[in-house]
Each structure stands twice: as C-alpha cells, then as structure tokens.
Structure 1
Amino acid sequence: MPHPTTLNPYSHDFQHAVAFVLAKEGGYVNHPKDPGGETNFGISKRAYPREDIANLTKERAAFLYHRDYWRPVRCHELPGGVALAVFDGAVQHGTGTAARLLQEILGVNTDGIIGPISLRAARQADAEWLTARYVLRRARLYARIQAKDPAQSAFIEGWFNRLRDLTDASWQLGYSTTRAA
C-alpha cells in the first residue's frame, strides 16, 4: 500500500486551507465585472494565460495554489489559523499584498516578502489576535477597492461573507505552531 503522503503530498493545514478556498471560489465563472476574467476554482486566465481554465481540475488548482500562493507567503511556517487567513489573502489580493498586510499588522518592514523577521514576529504574536486583525485589515482593503471602482460593489457582500467564514475556518484549524509543508 502506498505511503499516505504519496497519495496526498500536502499538509493537513494546506488541505484545510485549499478546501476553504475551493469552496469559496467555486467552479467555472466568466463574470463580466470580474477583472480576473475567466476563472475556475479561483484560478484566473489573467494570472494563468497558459492554463486551460475551462478544463482545469481541482487537483491542478490545488497544485497551483500550493506552489504559487501557500509556499511564497510561507504559510507552512505560520500558525494554522494565521496561515489560512494569509493564504486566502494571497489568493484574493496577490502574495505581495497579503504579505504587506501581515507585515503592517506586525509592525515590521512592509516589503511584501515574508522572511525571518516577519515569521518571528508572527510566531511571537497572539495568533487569534493576529488573525482577527488580518481579517479586519482585509475588510478595509475591500472597502477601498469598492470606493476606487464602484462596479466592484457587486462583490462586496460576498467578500464580507467570505471574511466571516474565514474567521470561523481559522478558529476550526486552530493555532498550533508546528507546521509542515
């Protein structure tokens, strides 16, 4: 019988996080007001012009999310609930913005790159407080997006519902400090 990690190479925290994102993003969408254009499982044609978005599988989406979002913002090194919040922020706003939001809250240099200083500060912070502040900071970002582009108001209720559900999912995941890839 194959080793369990052969069947699913992802950590429990990533599996939980990607399940949350996939559930929120849904399947194939081509909404005319979405600046990402054609999307499937939240993977956009704008971000991935070489992907066959219409035929994208959940497994391929999970691979892309792990490689291009989870690992670059070093979620595998953050407390579980914080990792989920930052990962979801990376999916919604890009890795640089997600990192800067976290760094602003932590009071460290906001260079958009999660390095040793950001990780140390995140591990030393109260994880529940950090998650709550991160979610609140994202709400402010959504409000600015809507103010800058009123056409985005079509999405505001969904964005705030997502943040509510993200808070619940973060607490379900917990705040242990032991991380795996």
Structure 2
Amino acid sequence: MTTSIPSSPAARPHLDDGRFRSAVDFLLRHEGGLVNDPVDPGGITNFGVSLRFARAAGDLDGDGRLDLDIDRDGDVDADDIRRMSRDDAAYVYWLHWWNRYDYASLHLSIATKLLDLSVNMGATQAHKIVQRAARAMGPEYRLTDDGQLGAKSRAVLSRLSNLDFLPAIRAEAAGFYRGLVIQRPASAKYLAGWLNRAYA
C-alpha cells in the first residue's frame, strides 16, 4: 500500500512527538475505520478524515502533491480515503490541525481535547467551543467566540490550564452536538456517540 507519510525521518516530526502521539491515541478512541454513511455530509470517511475534508485540504506541506492523494494518482477521491492507514491519518492530524493551529503550545489536556473536537467538527467550531467554555469559567476569562486562537485566546487558555477547565469544554461540546441534531434530525443516530466523545 502506498503511504502519504514522507519517507525522510526529518520530514516526520509527528512520529517523535510524544505529546502529539498521546493526543492521537485519545482521538482514535473515538474514530473508527472506514465508514460510508449516506447521511454523513462529509462523505466516505476513514479514521475521521472525510472525503470532503480531503478534497479541500490542498498541499499544506508544500511538497507539490495534494496532501491526501494517498494513491498518488493526481487526484483525491474515495480510493484515497479507502487506502488511508492509521499512520496516514496521524500525519494528516499533525499537519492540518496540531501543527497548523499550534496546539502543541497549549496545555496537553486542552490541546488533546481541541484536536479531538477539531477532527470531528472542524477547527473553527472547536475553537469556538473552547472560547465559550472559557467564558463559562468567569468574567475574567471572557473571550469572543470567533473561532480564532489568537494571542488573547491563548493567554486565557494558559491561565485556565491550571483550573479544572475540561468540564466546561465538555458541556459546550455536548450542547453543540445536541443543537446539530435539532438542525439536522437525520444525524440523531450519531448523538449517543457524539455525546460520549464530548464528555470524554
């Protein structure tokens, strides 16, 4: 099987990053293998990476090849999702979430929860969840839920890392998932799994 992970060890820093590997292990408790559910707007999905995301991912690593063109045939399609391995998915998580949004600079518990939610609901929505959760911790942590992890958000998250902040994130995530089912009733069959993920 062809893999999208770069062959040079220098190009694979995610493999040696213990904090990232810990976050990926947590994430993969919630992401199974190949799923092709017609109700899922993301399309065919493997390890939480959907075809919709894969087609939009582009060439973030700048190697001249689409990041999710796993079979290296010049396009990104369902075959690439089917061929994706756990290590392929880990590289995608690192490149398109962990590294792109500098989650490594956050406290590990917050970074881990952010990565898990970002893969499932998208980074912007996950960042909004964390910003809303910060507001719930008190007026001194007031943030605008704009979905951007700028300097102010990072400063607040740094202060919150010493507090029991995860319950607030979990509650906001659960509220988001419940709201999603109200908007898209066909997604109700996912709610139990989503809530398990929210409260993990």
Q: Say whether the fold is shared (TM-score over 0.5).
A: yes
Tell me, yes or no, if the aligned pair for 1:26 and 1:40 is still in contact at 8 Å: yes
- In structure 2, the CA distance between the partners of 1:119 and 1:8, relative to structure 1 (3 Å rule), is closer
Q: How many Å separate the matches in 1 of 2:106 and 2:178?
A: 27
Per-residue deviation, residues 2-46 of structure 1 (Å, max 9, x unmatched):
x9x978644222101112222321111101221211011111001
CA offset at residue 161 of structure 1?
1.7
Larger radius of gyration: 2
| 8 Å contact kept, 1:37–1:45 | yes
Residue 46 of structure 1 aligns to a residue whose secondary structure is: helix
- Which residue of 2 is the match for residue 135 of structure 1? 170
| Higher RCO (C-alpha under 8 Å, 6+ residues apart) | 1
Q: Which of 28, 38, 41 is the aligned partner of 1:35?
A: 41
Q: Name the amino acid aligned to 1:15.
A: R
Verify: 1:154 aligned to 2:176, yes or no.
no
Partners in 2 of 1:34 and 1:43 — Cα distance?
Answer: 12
- Following TM superposition, the consecutive aligned residue runs of length 4 or more in structure 1 with deviations greater than 3 angstroms are 5-10
Q: Percent identity?
A: 28
Quote the RMSD (CA, aligned, Å): 2.2
TM-score w.r.t. length of structure 2: 0.74
Unaligned runs of 5+ in 1: 167-181
In the alignment, the residues of structure 1 paired with residue 123 and residue 12 of structure 2 have an alpha-carbon distance, to the nearest angstrom, of 28
Task: Decide which moves more: 98-107 or 28-37.
Answer: 98-107
Do the aligned partners of residues 66 and 30 (structure 1) sit closer, same or farther apart at CA in structure 2, a change above 3 Å counting? Answer: same
Q: Measure, in 1, the Cα distance between the counterparts of 2:127 and 2:170.
A: 13
| Residues 47-85 of structure 1, C-alpha deviations (whole Å, 9 max, x = no match) | 112260000111111111111112233320111111111
1:88 Cα deviation after fit? 1.0
Equivalent pairs, count: 163
Provide the TM-score with structure 1 as the length reference: 0.81
Instruction: Give the equivalent residue in structure 1 for 2:71.
Output: none
Task: Specify the code of the residue in structure 2 equivalent to 1:37.
Answer: G
Q: 2:15–2:21: 8 Å Cα contact kept in structure 1? A: no
String of CA shifts for 1:67-112, please: whole Å, max 9, x gaps.
1112233320111111111111111111111112212232223222
Asked if 2 retains the 8 angstrom alpha-carbon contact of 1:73 and 1:87, the reply is no
What corresponds to 1:12 in structure 2? Answer: 18
User: Which residue in 1 is equivalent to 2:152?
Assistant: 117
